[in-house]
Structure 1
Amino acid sequence: MTQPATVTGPGRTPAWRYAIGMFGTSIPINMIKGSMILYYVDILGLDVRAYGAVMVIYAIIDALDNPLLGHLSDRTRTRFGRRRPWLLVGAPMLSACMIAFFSAPASLEGAGLVLWFAVFAILCEAFDSMLNANYGALLPELYPRERDRAVANSLRQGFQLVALVISLAVTPLLTTEVFGTERSTQGFQTTAIVYGAVALAVIVFMALSARERPRYATRERPRLLPSIWSIVRNPLFWTVGLTGACYGIAMALVLSGIQLYVRYALGLPVVNALYLQGVVILVSAAGLVAWTRVVARRGALWTWRIAFAVLAVSFASLFLATDLATGIAAGVLVGAGWSGMLATNDLIVARVLDVDATRNGEHREGLFLSAFGFFSRLNGVVTGLALTSLGLLFGYNSGTDPGADPGLAFRVYLCGYPFVLTAIGAIAARLITVPIETPPEAAEPAGGSAAERPR
């Protein structure tokens, strides 16, 4: 696909240099989310009730510290920019905490194991939030026009999918076959060290390459409480945030439960998650080009609505899968819907940020994205409650106490709950309208691409 000239014009950050940052930010957190249940609950024997309680507590803490991190980013004034210093600090801290998360001492059990899990889960999520609030805030700033933004977003989602192939699809192979076994933990520690080093190198490269816009960092620094009050009074914050949460929570359930879905629902060794996840990710990557073209022709909002509906239908088909072949067939549809959401969801959020900047005269993308992070923090609460519900409904409490029908339990966890959430999201998306309002600071010099018509 041909990139608009403004994406790579003079004085601009080349789209691929910004986009590759998503590769670095995705590897650590997706290994954590994709393997934490297998590592702590199924192998180390952490009770699902303790897991659920920790997830609720850490989500509350994360919801409180996110706005503060975003606000501090918006108020930062250095010769290196507002966002880059936070990226350069957060990258090594996230890598170190991820390695510690997957290095729980073998002697830990009971309260000690719960404490280790809680401390490093909270720290990993905090540093991930620091990175993503600042990285995400760069998208509308570096690429103010929606068509340029769609290209940069498509590229970064493509890098995210490459990271997912590695951190999700390849991880079971590395942890259970190459570096360890099905029931050992050594493979997780070694894999975490490798992923941490790669993520650190990529994020630092991206941060040093980004060219922030000085005009976005005004002399007047936004104040915390008035800014928060202004955001929570914005109807788009609630409508877009809650609707996007339906998608985010659904995918969090899928990422956290796919390995146990393969083990219990399909009755296969965990390593087979490689094939199912690989197909989903490859289809998603291939679909990004097509969905980005649809965005260019029909607009982000129309495309977002269609993608939501496709994703909802895909979870119903995955529920009916009985073996690897039918699971892969359903996975193709999941990949198509997911690809559409990857191509559009952040564009809808970026529109909301533009509207806020235009109407309030302040660029507080860090705080706004962190406030949106409140909804993504619901992921931890809902996934914790969803996992706890498997004990109440199906008797699955841990790998040593899986209950009478763990296969049905993880069909509901991986397919049933996500279907309900995305169906609600698809309906809500039909009722939402988000206008295009470009902030005056984003005005392009003569010779830039023509602005597209609002849709």
Structure 2
Amino acid sequence: MRQHIVYAFGNLGQSGFYNALSTYFVVYVTSSLFANVDETVASRLIGVITGLIVVIRIAEIFIDPLLGNLIDNTTTRMGRFRPWQLIGGTVSAILLFMVYTGLFGLVNVNQTWFIVLFVIVFIVLDVFYSLRDISYWGMIPAISEDSHERSVYTALGSFGGSIGYNGLTIIVIPVVSYFSFLFTGSYAESQSGWTAFGIIVALLGIITAWSVAFGTKERESALRSKAQKNGNPLQAFAALAKNDQLLWVALSYLFYAVANTATTGVLFYLFKFVLGQPEAFSIAGVIPVFTGLGASALYPIINRYVPRRYLFLGGMVFMVIAYLIFIFASSSLPLVVVGLLFFYLPATFIQMTAILSLTDSVEYGQLKTGRRNEAVTLSVRPMLDKIAGALSNGIVGFIAVAAGMVGSATAADMTAANIHTYKIFAFYTPLAFIVVSALVFMFTVKIDEKMHAEIVEELEAKLASGEIESEDAKDADLVEENAAEGAAARK
């Protein structure tokens, strides 16, 4: 029970940290970072900083598997994953605090040096956050080999993450406003308010990361101890390429993630330009809070009676219904709310099933190749989310321009052609992606709870019999062979 609580608490801080790093850091940059800089220069610097963030995020897509390989090859007394919770959580928290101070005011002293140092600090910050994120999800197969127990840990992580991510959205403005008033006498956003916010998030990040580092325990099972060494990145990638179940799950999830992020990225346009009620957009923020918390708590209970394969495909059916409502009833606020319920309710089930399928593919890959790539395998999902996020950024900008939903335009300015263009890219295309995702999962993903249990049993038997030889056994055979050759030479 203690380890369950600690694991859930870990993602509370980690998800809140991610929200502060991705969403609210951009808000801070555009509102307060350059408040004391000439307006013309400030506009140019905002463009430079936001552009650099996008470039760094895209580049990070290709770094995550390398970081996973680094974690997989870590050998310490604390285990493979917990050291990176400690190191990644601490370093990333310190650097987050630094960027929320404008690098201790350097932005107001020398903008050129600020840009140079900002790039360095943000890259290092992103790398160490990724090390924490990958090691957090990557440790699930190291904590338990039981498929249901893994679903419990995944649910707990999702539960804590939902509280942390959405909870930060609730407190950010009150926190920034309070500390701005405390230091400036005004409730308007200020550098001091955002610095205080950065300190709070950084402290939460350190506390939750340390709780996982010192409050969890990796199991040293036969499957892990007898696995071949993970090797260099090329060897790890070669092993992943042979893991067909991992690749099919990843492809299915990628179609889902692109559809999901493309739609959520332009939901505000639905309220502002189609419904003409932008003030009602808060509904789209409240619904996922409650559906996420409820679904993550119920998932392991429902999964005892319903195989996760059906939870994934059932979730896809819910999303299809949601898109049909958005397409044919987008002018009715009550029906749009119903559509949002169908859209957000299955999201946790779909995402958790994908995580668990990727987790169980660790043993599947080990059975096929002899290599146990835990962190590299679990780095695939964050990488797919980042690919989808990068595509979403481009999609949002394209839809806004193509549908004329820019500048001072209002719902009254929208023509039938504008609305149709919006629906094509916001609903019709993502709906097609959801259908493809479901079909890929249905016809290619074979690994489930029963198959995973059989794989674990077969793997244990083959490792015990020596049919799958561990790296240590290979080293022993090599030593014995060299000794025999030396004895023969002496004779």
Match of 1:439 in 2: 456
1:157 paired residue number: 158
Counterparts of 1:415 and 1:95, CA distance in 2: 38
Is the 1:358–1:440 Cα contact (8 Å) retained in structure 2?
no
The equivalent of 1:450 in structure 2 is none
Shift of 1:383: 2.5
CA distance in 2, matches of 1:418, 1:312: 10
**Residue 73 of structure 1 pairs with residue 71 of structure 2:** yes
Structure 1, 61-70 or 314-323: larger mean CA deviation: 314-323
Of stretches 375-384 and 32-41 in structure 1, the one that deviates more from structure 2 is 32-41
Q: Which shifted more, 411-420 or 122-131?
A: 411-420
Whether 2:438 is the aligned partner of 1:426: answer: yes
Correspondence 1:18-417 to 2 at 5 A: 18-35=7-24, 38-40=27-29, 54=52, 57-104=55-102, 122-172=123-173, 174-175=175-176, 184=189, 186=191, 187-215=193-221, 216-217=224-225, 221-224=229-232, 225-253=234-262, 275-315=283-323, 317=325, 328-390=337-399, 392-394=401-403, 401=407
Matched residue type, 1:424: V
Q: Is the 8 A contact 2:10 2:208 kept in 1?
A: yes
Measure how far apart 1:83 and its partner are. Answer: 0.7
Q: Per-residue deviation at 1:416?
A: 6.5
SS in 2 for 1:298: coil
Deviation digits for residues 241-279 of structure 1, max 9, x if unmatched?
122123334444567666787677776778x76553222
**Partners of 1:194 and 1:219 in 2: how far apart?**
41
CA distance in 2: counterparts of 1:144 and 1:233, whole angstroms: 21
Quote the Cα distance in structure 1 between the aligned partners of 2:302 and 2:118: 43
- TM-score, normalization by structure 1: 0.77
> Contact 1:265/1:411 (CA < 8 Å) preserved in 2?
no
- State the Cα deviation string for residues 345-400 of structure 1 (Å, max 9, x = none): 21111121221123333322112222454423313421232233246424667xxx
SS of structure 2 residue aligned to 1:223: coil
| Higher alpha-carbon deviation: 410-419 or 133-142 | 410-419
How many angstroms apart in 1 are the aligned matches of 2:263 and 2:24? 12
Q: Does the 8 Å contact 2:90/2:209 carry over to 1?
A: no
Q: CA deviation at 1:52?
A: 8.3
Q: In the superposition, relative to structure 1, how do residues 214 and 46 fare at CA in structure 2: closer, same or farther (>3 Å)?
A: farther
What is the rounded CA distance, in whole Å, between the counterparts of 2:353 and 2:97 in structure 1?
A: 32
Q: Which moved more, 1:370-379 or 1:110-119?
A: 110-119
Cα distance in 2, alignment partners of residues 257 and 54 from structure 1: 23
**Residues of 2 paired with 1:286 and 1:241: CA distance?**
25
> Which string of whole-angstrom CA distances, capped at 9 and with x for unpartnered residues, describes residues 184-238 of structure 1?
4545443332222112201211111111123425585321212211212332232
Residue number in structure 2 paired with 1:449: none
CA contact (8 A) 2:273 2:405 kept: no
Q: Is contact 1:73–1:366 with CA below 8 Å preserved after alignment?
A: yes
What SS does the corresponding residue of 1:58 show, helix, strand or coil? helix
- Indicate the residue corresponding to 2:468 in structure 1: none
Contact map agreement 1:304 1:340 (CA 8 A) in 2: yes
Structure 2 CA distance for aligned equivalents of residues 148 and 336 of structure 1: 23
Provide TM-score, normalisation by structure 2.
0.72
Deviation larger for 248-257 or 285-294 = 248-257
Q: Measure the CA separation in 2 of the matches of 1:310 and 1:109.
A: 53
Question: What is the root-mean-square deviation of aligned Cα atoms in Å?
Answer: 4.3
What per-residue deviation string (whole Å, max 9, x for no partner) do you get for residues 103-131 of structure 1?
Answer: 44776999999878866654443223211
Contact kept in structure 1, 2:100 and 2:195, CA below 8 Å: yes
Structure 1 unaligned blocks of 5 or more: 1-7, 444-455
1-structure distance, mates of 2:165, 2:404: 31
One-letter amino acid of the structure 2 residue matched with residue 222 of structure 1? N
Q: How many angstroms apart in 2 are the aligned matches of 1:99 and 1:297?
A: 45
Identity of aligned residues (%): 14
1:125-155 Cα offsets, whole Å, 9 max, x none, are: 3223211211111112212111222222222
Is 2:240–2:246's contact at 8 Å kept on the other side of the alignment?
A: yes
Query: Given that residues 33 and 255 in structure 1 are in contact (C-alpha distance below 8 angstroms), is that contact kept between their aligned partners in structure 2?
Result: no
In structure 2, what residue type is equivalent to 1:69? L
Distance 1:72 1:93 in 2: 17
Stretch of structure 1 that moved more, 431-440 or 183-192: 183-192
Q: Please name the residue that 1:3 is paired with.
A: none
Check conservation: 2:135, 2:375, Cα contact below 8 A. yes
TM-aligned CA distance change 1:60 to 1:339, over 3 Å: closer
Instruction: Say if 2:180 and 2:189, in contact at 8 Å, map to a contact too.
Output: no
Residues 297/109 of structure 1: CA separation in 2 closer, same or farther (3 Å cut): farther
Give the match for residue 448 of structure 1. Answer: none
CA contact (8 A) 1:24 1:203 kept: yes
Q: Provide the aligned length of Structure 1 versus Structure 2.
A: 429
Q: Which has the higher helix share?
A: 2
1:29 Cα deviation from its structure 2 partner: 0.7
3-state SS of 1:134 partner: helix
For residues 413 and 124 of structure 1, what CA distance do their matches in structure 2 show?
34
1:385 maps to amino acid: G
After superposition, give the CA deviation of every residue in 1:300-326 in whole Å (9 maximum; x if it has no partner): 222112113323433554575569766
| 3-state SS, counterpart of residue 402 of structure 2 | helix
**CA distance in 1: counterparts of 2:161 and 2:274, whole angstroms:** 27
Where does structure 2 lack aligned partners over 5 or more consecutive residues? 33-41, 461-491
What is the alpha-carbon distance in structure 1 between the residues aligned to residue 108 and residue 269 of structure 2? 25
Bigger mean CA deviation after superposition, 156-165 or 424-433 = 424-433
**1 or 2 for the larger relative contact order (CA 8 Å, sep ≥6)?**
1
Larger radius of gyration: 2
Q: In terms of mean alpha carbon deviation, does 213-222 or 374-383 score higher?
A: 213-222
